[in-house]
Amino acid sequence: MRTAAARVRLSLLPIVQCAVGAGLAWFIAHKVIGHPQPFFAPMAAMISIGVSFGARLRRAVELIAGVSVGIGIGDLFVSYFGTGVWQISLLVIFAMCAAVFLDGGPVITMQAASSAVLVATLIPPHSGASHFRIVDALVGGMVGIVVVAAIPLHPVRRARQQAADILGVMGKALTDAADGLLEHDADKIKAALEAVRGTQTRLDTLRSTLAGGREISRISPLYWNSRARLERIQDTADPIDNAVRNTRVLLRRALSLVRDDEVLNPSLTLEVEQLGKAVEVVREMVLADPGEQPDAAEATRVLRTVAKGATKDMVEGAGISAHVVFAQIRSILVDLMQVCGMRRLSSIALLPPTVPNPYVTPID
């Protein structure tokens, strides 16, 4: 019930946007334009807004284009071939092929097909009613954009929370894996691995949210000043994705390490645990408002402390799985430093060397 209630809370503002948009689109199409039954105008507004947070401008454009393509092809086709089983099937093929040729997006494709079918089954060709549907699509799409701009979702807050949630899962998985290594508990490591694997949909949602945030920051004057903060969060998306992927590799090899009874230096287990705690600091940094602690400098300091311990002596004489875990710890540290705003090469330079530099003569 708590999870369900949380889903409703997160979607409440988009639901309100859809409700306002549907009512406003119907009013404009019916009272202002004079369409007697503007059933598609509120539908178009809801489709262009949607409950998901992202690509709304694209949805509105696809919707209007799809309706226009479907009605145009439907009118022309039915005028020559009439209606019937094979005509409807062939009409859908033509309409969807034309939509895919123009764009390929799911909204334009389905709207083209459904509009063509409506012309073939319910709306007589050249009756004028089909053109009302184009007007409805235009009204609904434009109303959707206006409502999103007038009652906007915060373009930064949701993306920041989603990024923090992903880091929270990742940090807990690493600390649980450290416990599993210490206790030689394969089940605990396997559960941590499954939890991290489950973040892929969250990563996809984060990217969609960032795309929606960019739209909001462009069309809503209320959030024009949020563009810089949104760009900073945008810059963290790829490093967070890479960190999650590297964590999955680390956990898989940690699982193999336990199952194969490899010899393990206790310092490697401690390093995994410290990395998990450092991820939690980065998570808190992502959630912190400007001026609050921990900031990027503090999170970087914690990561550098962990990086100093990632030395090659902890895997001397160890098996292949331990070496992979060691390598992934270093990779994750580089990814997280990039989340904190550092460049990749600068992050790599902070790691202890793993092989002697051939251009430096050792001093006795």
Q: What does the block give as tokens for 330? A: 């270093």
- The model's pLDDT over 219-266, given as tens digits with 9 standing for 90+, comes to 666 666 667 777 788 888 999 999 999 999 999 999 999 998 887 889
Residue 6: Cβ-neighbour burial (10 angstroms; 0-12, 13-18, 19+): exposed
Rg of the Cα atoms in the chain: 27
Torsion of CA 307, 310, 311, 317, to 10 degrees: -170
For the entire predicted model, the pTM comes to: 0.71
Residue 355: Cβ-neighbour burial (10 angstroms; 0-12, 13-18, 19+): exposed
- The model's pLDDT over 187-210, given as tens digits with 9 standing for 90+, comes to 999 999 999 999 998 998 888 888
Residue 49: CA atoms inside 13 Å, Cβ hemisphere, count?
35
Give mean pLDDT, residues 36-40: 81
Give yes or no for a contact between 44 and 135, defined as CB atoms under 8 angstroms apart: no
Predicted local confidence at residue 359, as pLDDT: 33
Q: What does the block give as tokens for 36? A: 């007697």
For the chain, give me the number of helices (H) and strands (E)? 14, 0
Length of the chain: 364
Centre a 10 Å sphere on the Cβ of residue 98 and count the other Cβ atoms it contains.
20
CA distance 316 to 344: 27
Q: What is the C-alpha end-to-end distance of the chain, expressed in Å?
A: 67
Give yes or no for a contact between 226 and 155, defined as CB atoms under 8 angstroms apart: yes
Domains of the chain: 13-150 (no CATH), 157-349 (1.20.58)
Residue 146: Cβ-neighbour burial (10 angstroms; 0-12, 13-18, 19+): middle
Give yes or no for a contact between 265 and 325, defined as CB atoms under 8 angstroms apart: no
What residue type is assigned to position 121 of the chain? Answer: T
- What is the full DSSP assignment across 130-198? HHHHHHHHHHHHHHHHHHHHHSPPPTTHHHHHHHHHHHHHHHHHHHHHHHHHHHT-HHHHHHHHHHHHT
CA distance 254 to 269: 10
Residue 109: CA atoms inside 13 Å, Cβ hemisphere, count?
9
Query: How far from the centroid of its chain's Cα atoms is residue 3's Cα?
Result: 19
Q: Which of 314, 319, 330, 185 is nearest to 250 (CA)?
A: 330
> Please, which contacts does 313-318 make with residues 24 or more away whose CB atoms are closer than 8 Å?
314/265, 314/267, 314/268, 314/271, 315/265, 315/268, 316/265, 317/263, 318/262, 318/263, 318/264, 318/265, 318/268
State the pLDDT confidence band at 41, using cuts at 50, 70 and 90. Answer: confident
- The model's pLDDT over 92-128, given as tens digits with 9 standing for 90+, comes to 898 889 888 887 677 788 888 888 887 777 766 555 5
Q: What does the block give as tokens for 192? A: 């941590």
| Residue, of 76 and 340, whose pLDDT is higher | 340
Give mean pLDDT, residues 13-39: 88
Predicted local confidence at residue 283, as pLDDT: 95
Q: What does the block give as tokens for 38? A: 């503007």
Residue 309: CA atoms inside 13 Å, Cβ hemisphere, count?
17
Residue with tokens 């989340």: 339
Residue 153 has pLDDT above 80, yes or no: no
Residue 295's φ and ψ, nearest 5 degrees, are -95, -175
Residue 170's φ and ψ, nearest 5 degrees, are -65, -45
